[in-house]
Chain A
Amino acid sequence: MTETMESKSRRMASLRKKRYRAERRFRRLGFAAVSVGLIFLTVLFGVVLISGFGAFKQTFIQLDIAVLQGSDNYQGMVKQALRDIFPEVKSRRHKRQLYALVSSGATYQLNARIEAEPDLSGKKISAWFPASDDVDMVIKGRIARDGPAELRRVTDQQLRWIERLENEGRIRTQFNWAFFTSGDSREPELAGIAVATLGTLLSLLVCLVLSFPLGVLTAVYLEEFAPRGRWTEFIEVNINNLAAVPSIVFGLLGLAVFLNVFNLPRSAPLVGGMVLALMTLPTIIIAGRVALNGVPPSVREAALAIGASPLQAVFHHVLPLAMPGVLTGTIIGTARALGESAPLLMIGMVAFVVDLPSTILSPATALPVQVFLWADSPERAFEERTAAAILVLLLLTILMNLAAVLLRKKYEIRW
């Protein structure tokens, strides 16, 4: 078999072409994989932003209320004000539909205002009250006005009223402060994230107070003092495994030990913080050990050489130098704890809480749990609020991670 030079080189050339094609294909696959991740990230943020942004605004309706002297029938006053605007509404069914335009929260707001300013009694006041969630959705365009009637929760009659209110300038949207200042509510237009945010902050505070010292001291012991041996190795394996235990199992631990054995209150930020602390502990220990390990032995030796005790060498010299790394790890661990909800479900932080928690023992929810609760609600308006709560949650997470990155950039020491 003799192959001519020419045919051989032709064969090689075609083989080379094939190999280069394979090379390009492989490269493109890699790029496609990266793109898949990025596209998903964009879509995720896009969906949350688009569906949540509206919740930062809220629709209000202006009513002229005649405050009756000595009466506390605030609901009646609100209803009367509505009837004054639409005097032609007579039938009971229509009246009920008319009253449904204004949020049930209007009554409480009127009550609070008149109690604060008793001299309003007997006068006529003009004030803005939150519209009901359906009106809010219509105004924001989330319920199509020309869509089929059975798909929108608003009747044709109500739509005509809304239009008239708009023409009279009695409808406006403004920044939704209530979303940040009120607790949970069955009415979407009154529900807010204040309780959840405060609950999260309290839990994270408890978590930090417990896990930071415990984590740092454990890291110091394991890295600087622990004798190499079976016990130390056991602790190390333990910590590595603990870092990979599903979060819900920590919740079961919290339920069985903190609630059922120690009889701590359900739904309390204290218990939530304790469970989160146990989860964060491995992260802090591992980050702490890496940071301590990064401090060169010369620092220790210099301290020891001028007469410091081993403890002094570590606590006065090595640990302060390792602190940026330790703090970075702590912030990252806390950011993870911030988004954690499964263990909190187990210890009952899924309650319907309206009032702000006053201590770490009073019932509260947490931001991610609030997201979970609202995501389950059927109302359209809650979908918007869920996404808005997610935006707040994401913002907090991003801020914390950013802080960790900046801290590392600013204080990281290259030895």
Chain B
Amino acid sequence: MSLCNEPPQLGGVDLGRRPMRSTPLRRVIAGRLVMGVLIACSTVAVLTTIGIVLSLVFESIQFFQIVPVSDFLFGMHWSPQTAIRTDQVGSSGAFGVIPLLAGTLLISAIALTVSGPVGLYAAIYLVEYARPSFRAVIKPLLEVLAGIPTVVYGFFAALFVAPLLRHGGETIGLDVSSESALAAGLVMGVMTIPFVSSITDDAITAVPSTLKEGALAMGATRSEMIRQVVLPAALPGIAGGMLLAVSRVIGETMIVVMAAGLTANLTLNPLEAVTTVTVQIVTMLTGDQQFDSAKTLSAFALGLLLFMVTLVLNVIAQRIVKKYREQYD
């Protein structure tokens, strides 16, 4: 409920026709002041967004003065090795974002192949099958996966999963790169399991029990009820959740910085090393750089791209989730 700024009235009863004491001026001024502070605070979030957009756009414009937008968006090569001396040969570098996008998509696809089914089935099991006592213990445990700092996953991917895959590949005669997309993708997938499962959980609990009971009353088994009634009804919610998971995976940085490769590689082979948008942002900006070089500025163009893609995904996902919620409310 929202309160209005009117002076309080004593229960609205007119006592003996005497004029009611008006609010002291002090209180009015203090009230206005506090209100001003409250409104100012609520604009910080908006200012942050404006700040993000402005800083990214401003630096990107500078970048696009050096590298044309079309070369950036449609270029097939990413090798930002700018020369130290200006007279050096090949000092321009190549800033085509396609290989980075391909790498990002490859790793994201691997991650979602893991977290999608696992998260979905885990949520179904915990909501529909597990005993409440089992659920009470297991659900928080699964959610621990979401609370682990991403550097820890990065360490785990680089020092445990990647060597494991490499050795495993060797024994069956496959050449697995030690910075394979598979290692980073798998670990990232595990990280997003609780994310997918908690959204699926919400979506299937929101399906009215009359639908479920109806299905069971018609003689459906539990799995038939889930597959044919609950999941179709919960589909929009789950789809929205998956989109949020995609946006999360795309923006994830530390795991890929530690476990994925540094050189751009246009491939769809999950056993090879690929690099991602976030990895390149970090590589371009860590270490001492001249701030106005194309190399550092390119990080902001990549950041702008990342911001826009995730923003679009989030907006669509939130629309879907919201629309779906209204359906049953």
Interfacial residues, chain A to chain B (CB-CB below 8 A): 19-20, 22-23, 25-27, 29-34, 36-38, 40-41, 43-44, 47-48, 51, 213-214, 217-218, 220-222, 224-228, 234-235, 237-242, 244-250, 252-253, 255-257, 260, 278, 281-282, 285, 297, 300, 304-305, 307-311, 313-314, 335-336, 338-342, 345-346, 350, 368-369, 371-372, 375-376, 383, 386-387, 390, 393-394, 397, 401
Contacts and interface: CB of A to CB of B under 8 A. Distances in A.
A235 B55 contact: no
Closest 3 CB pairs of A and B: A246-B251, A339-B149, A30-B125
Interface in B41-75: 41-46, 48-49, 51-52, 55-56, 58-59
Of listed A41, A222, A386, residue having the most chain B CB within 10 A: A41
B324 interface: no
A217 B38 contact: yes
Contacts of B310: 244-246
Nearest to B249: A246
A38 B145 CA distance: 9
Nearest to A244: B314
A36 B145 CA distance: 12
Nearest to B314: A244
Interface in B1-57: 1-5, 7-8, 10-11, 23, 27, 30-31, 34-35, 37-39, 41-46, 48-49, 51-52, 55-56
A221 B160 CA distance: 48
Given A33-B121, A34-B142, A345-B282, 13 more contacts: A38-B141, A40-B145, A40-B190, A44-B153, A244-B247, A256-B56, A305-B11, A310-B8, A339-B148, A339-B149, A342-B257, A346-B285, A368-B254
B70 to A, nearest CB: 23
- Tell me whether chain A's interface is mostly helix, strand or loop, or mixed: helix
B304 to A, nearest CB: 9
Interface residues of B, number: 98
A374 B129 CA distance: 44
Contacts of A34: 121-122, 125-126, 130, 138, 142
Given A23-B222, A311-B34, A339-B148, A44 B48 contact: no
Interface of B: 1-5, 7-8, 10-11, 23, 27, 30-31, 34-35, 37-39, 41-46, 48-49, 51-52, 55-56, 58-59, 117-122, 124-126, 128-130, 138, 141-142, 144-145, 147-156, 158-160, 190, 193-194, 197, 221-224, 226-227, 244, 247-248, 250-254, 257-258, 278, 281-282, 285-286, 291, 299-300, 303, 306-307, 310-311, 314-315, 318
Contact of A22 (B147, B149, B223, B251): B223
A390 to B, nearest CB: 5
Q: Binding site of B, secondary structure by majority: helix, strand, loop or mixed?
A: helix
Contact of A23 (B48, B125, B221, B244): B221
A41 B223 contact: no
B42 A30 contact: no
Given A26-B223, A36-B118, A257-B55, A372 B154 contact: yes
25 contacts: A26-B222, A30-B129, A37-B142, A48-B152, A48-B156, A218-B44, A225-B2, A228-B2, A235-B46, A239-B45, A245-B52, A245-B307, A257-B51, A309-B7, A310-B3, A341-B150, A342-B278, A345-B286, A350-B286, A368-B149, A371-B149, A372-B154, A375-B258, A394-B152, A397-B147
Nearest to B121: A33
